[in-house]
Amino acid sequence: MTKLIALINALIALLTAFVGTLSKPVGNEYALTTQVVQVDYENDVVVCQDFNGNLWEFEGCEDWMYGDIASLVMNDMGTPEIYDDEIVAPPRYSGYFDGFPKG
């Protein structure tokens, strides 16, 4: 009988751990197209601007250049305002504008 109770407790612990990993993150994800407006190699930060004028930054300059188009996957954190939104996936290079003015 003791072995049966130990087995049931072990199964409950495993199921609890498994169900905990299935919980969804807070908020919804959405795509955001931006353009690189600053590359700070010293601090390894890239600053992008969306087409509403909001600035977003991420780490990892690598080969990003001013004028590049970066596609970001964002999370709205479950709130209606965008100021707490976060980049949740590595930015993707999506091209560049040939005639973009140098900044």
Count of structural domains within the chain:
1
Q: Is residue 8 part of a domain?
A: no
Q: Is residue 9 part of a domain?
A: no
Q: Is residue 84 part of a domain?
A: yes
Mean pLDDT of the chain: 86
pLDDT of residue 70: 97
pLDDT in tens, 72-86: 999 999 999 999 999
Domain encompassing residue 76: 29-96
Q: Is residue 41 part of a domain?
A: yes
The overall pTM is greater than 0.85 = no
Higher-confidence position of 22 and 99: 99
Residue 10: pLDDT over 80? no
- CB burial of 81-103 (b: ≥16 within 10 Å; e: otherwise) equals eeeebebeeebeeeeeeeeeeee
CA distance 74 to 48: 13
Residue 56: pLDDT over 90? yes
Q: Is residue 22 part of a domain?
A: no
CA distance 96 to 17: 45
